[in-house]
Structure 1
């Protein structure tokens, strides 16, 4: 999937094994009561992704305009939803709000989209007159509440109320790579990007309403508070805040600034970035004097943001250092090259292990050991960085954040948990495909065999790793899955049958969005393509001689007919679907005979026939969808309106 990390992470929340659309998260036990409240006659209620949508009677919303966003804290979100919905119902204002506390944490987590994060509620004034009436009253209503700053918006006064000019109705344009993007319409009718960057902007043809002029002036005036550092470059960005290389204006020396935004960057337990940063400050104070961790230089609060100031440690991350040296990247590395890399890797591992033991000696569990949190200095020494989720060795609590492939099993805590991840690092440095272990812990054993086969590691290296990993369980709870390729002459028919059985077991012909689990891209393209959807799986089943159930083929035909804007092409379009259908003996659906009239909705793929042009595809499973265009909205019914 060609998406950013925040977009990809949203598909990892609803299921521990498969990518799923975000609206399938299991949040029934923490939904906001606001969604179940009775509504006046004529009001309609429905759901769109993670949002509950309330539409007043006889209201025609414009295509675009100034919309109002309300943010809220994890603790106050339910109360704020009640207050704002009361406010909107009394004034006949269309509104949508996140359906649950889990949904709120998801869209405001550390790696959520920075431009849209923090939005708990959206109000849709019908015009600027209503905007001017609503903003002061809403700010007064919420004067005792706070929330994360919505970076894409303009803050109104000192309230958790924000505004932005954008689309009310779902409009898209085609980006240069062929994918759809959110759009707004210019005065001459052209669709242009509806920018959702983490900075407030206004389209050049839009005038600032009078009610916003004071807020705009304040927004652009900066601050009188002194910022005592000169930012050299950003090292990392997340929804919780940035990490910057800076110069101290007093000393002229380099420092690292770790920024935290209040109420933003929530972890699984609802802990925000500021709380974690203060915790990291306390941990660094506890580790003071160790040369394997950065020195704490200060802690400041400026512009409502918190900044931890720490020593800049010159060097490269272990990730960068390893990829520069890794010998298996070349087709035929020499024995000398493999031996030199092994000496370097085992030396680095010993230094990281010693650093970890030094941290443990202070009673601290690091909890976030992975290649990007290890700095290799120019002289070869190592340092550990990023202690935001570190804890006391005796604390059994599972961290709310973790790096893929470097998370200890939930049954481990303290020193044992760090030691487990240290073993993951030992394996990764020789074979950098660590996330496989999260899917199937038997990989920890089979990958160790690959390492001992290719690298001249010490004799006990592989044995030790296998012993440490032998108690790990995977997400499905199995102890030791069979290693099908561990014998000299594998039973290929049995392997094929096992794979086919697994594919069949995962099929969901009752669902409309996908037939088989797979890449998240299928949720944006209808679930039927060769590249990411059902056609590719059915074609593969046919090629290995497996029986393809007829209801699977029926699903594929129905999905293509249901698609409103399909593309041509073999991998991502209808040509590939047609080829698959023909291979499965369904030629009539693939290409009707000449002169035969297609039924409504049929998508024909035939050499002499012109296919529908490549048009914009509407992203149906985005986390933020305007209320207009909800697939099914019924008066007084809180049932799901998400699926067509």
Structure 2
């Protein structure tokens, strides 16, 4: 569902591209008193473009990107536009504040994130002079780091990369198109857009790297953590497996990039660093519970913030459900396999309820229970919950906690409430247990009127013990004690 988020802005029932989102006049109104008479302003895709009449773009070159938070975007646009008008350089900018928040959010692609304004200098001399003018005009401002670019000197908002100015594409076999640029010999090559700065082999960087300041060259984060591998990346930061050189313990590092945001929909966001601080505070409250990671520390390295916890060896239930010894869909005709699966399923159900009840006893509601953030140790049977940035103090309203969820794992009534209740967590538990049998919960988010048990009933008709259905039903109804009692009394071998 995450990869489809941008296609549901326009209509809840039909996928539409972001470019179809109607743009308000917020940013055009900033330009209206500044726009020269011989310039035009036009909308295309997710952008507005401002350009002088009778001036054509070069096909490729060094382009300048200016990043911005949504709060300071009008001022950034005003300052950048003035310099572009003076230099006669075409530029484009994100069409609407909602679109800018999405481009800065965790859900947006890392290679294209953060680019509020894009400028197209016609040659290297203009690139250098305009870049310097922008640097001086925005010196005290800060915005998201544009991962695909290099900073213009020490600016916090002005960046640059080499790439195409005019859209040149090649059709691929899957119907999508590759972006192209041309080498000096005229051959077309891919315009590679990576989440790190990369120049084509024939292009020289016009701004040499500044000397690195002297400091710790051990490669350790915070002087103690040696990263072993990256486990995941989003626009707001990565998750890393590392070794603590002080203790020898394997740990997990969770990163938050400043000025990137967690998207809640409809233009509502929470700063990634703030969300990481909330997770730190929530974990601190839960320390001592065996079902949550051990909190080690929070620190800042360079401009990024990191949260350090113990590394948990379990597998996400999203992986467990598709393992050969757990999957039911293709093995319903094997009674012994069904029994083994039901034994494992029952154990997960009881451990999950124990974990959630113990967290509730500390005064917190989890808020985001889904297959990706519940880990199972297949050897010991131990179960851990991770990702507590959306946890909410019981009885305390929180728009973030209510709106941050995995599609298909929230109770229908949660769409209209200001804060979570214990029922919301147990409903998610029910859907998680349903997901282990039949992972169709995301479809229920798209069509809330679809009969919830239609797919599960097909499994019951094929021989799945009815106790699975009734335990899930009890949790979706909020009858937690009934669900636990039935799970404890049930012996799955009695098929």
**What TM-score, normalized to structure 1?**
0.68
Q: Structure 1 residue 34: deviation in Å?
A: 2.5
The superposition leaves residues 152-204 of structure 1 with CA deviations (integer Å, 9 ceiling, x where unpaired) of 00101221100000000001134575631111111111111111100101111
Q: Structure 1 residue 306: deviation in Å?
A: 0.9
SS in 1 for 2:351: helix
Q: Structure 1 residue 53: deviation in Å?
A: 0.4
Q: Structure 1 residue 420: deviation in Å?
A: 1.9
CA distance in 2, matches of 1:219, 1:32: 40
Alignment of 1:346-425 (within 5 A): 346-377=346-377, 378-399=379-400, 400-408=403-411, 409-412=414-417, 413-425=420-432
Alignment of 1:159-558 (within 5 A): 159=155, 160-175=157-172, 179-209=176-206, 212-213=207-208, 216-218=209-211, 226-227=220-221, 228-268=224-264, 269-324=268-323, 325-330=325-330, 332-377=332-377, 378-399=379-400, 400-408=403-411, 409-412=414-417, 413-441=420-448, 442-453=450-461, 454-458=463-467, 460-461=470-471, 463-464=473-474, 467=477
- CA contact 1:88–1:94 (8 Å) conserved in 2: yes
CA distance in 1, matches of 2:216, 2:125: 31
Q: Structure 1 residue 251: deviation in Å?
A: 2.2
Q: Structure 1 residue 13: deviation in Å?
A: 2.6
**Residue segments in structure 1 that go unaligned for 5+ positions in a row:** 470-644
The answer on 1:68 being equivalent to 2:82 is: no
CA distance in 2, matches of 1:265, 1:461: 37
SS in 1 for 2:460: helix
TM-aligned CA distance change 1:448 to 1:328, over 3 Å:
closer
TM-aligned CA distance change 1:219 to 1:135, over 3 Å:
farther
Q: Which moved more, 1:28-37 or 1:383-392?
A: 28-37
CA distance in 2, matches of 1:433, 1:42: 55
Q: Which moved more, 1:121-130 or 1:417-426?
A: 417-426
**Residue segments in structure 2 that go unaligned for 5+ positions in a row:** 480-495
**Which structure has the greater CA radius of gyration?**
1
Alignment of 1:91-110 (within 5 A): 91-110=87-106
**What TM-score, normalized to structure 2?**
0.87
CA distance in 1, matches of 2:365, 2:174: 45
The superposition leaves residues 339-378 of structure 1 with CA deviations (integer Å, 9 ceiling, x where unpaired) of 2211211220121111111111111121110011011123
Q: Structure 1 residue 148: deviation in Å?
A: 0.6
- CA contact 1:240–1:272 (8 Å) conserved in 2: no
CA distance in 2, matches of 1:60, 1:191: 21
CA distance in 1, matches of 2:145, 2:308: 22
Alignment RMSD (CA, Å): 2.4
CA distance in 2, matches of 1:368, 1:374: 10
- CA contact 2:49–2:92 (8 Å) conserved in 1: yes
CA distance in 1, matches of 2:376, 2:108: 29
TM-aligned CA distance change 1:419 to 1:218, over 3 Å:
farther
TM-aligned CA distance change 1:243 to 1:44, over 3 Å:
same
- Bigger relative CO (Cα 8 Å, ≥ 6 apart): 1
CA distance in 1, matches of 2:5, 2:291: 31
CA distance in 2, matches of 1:6, 1:128: 39
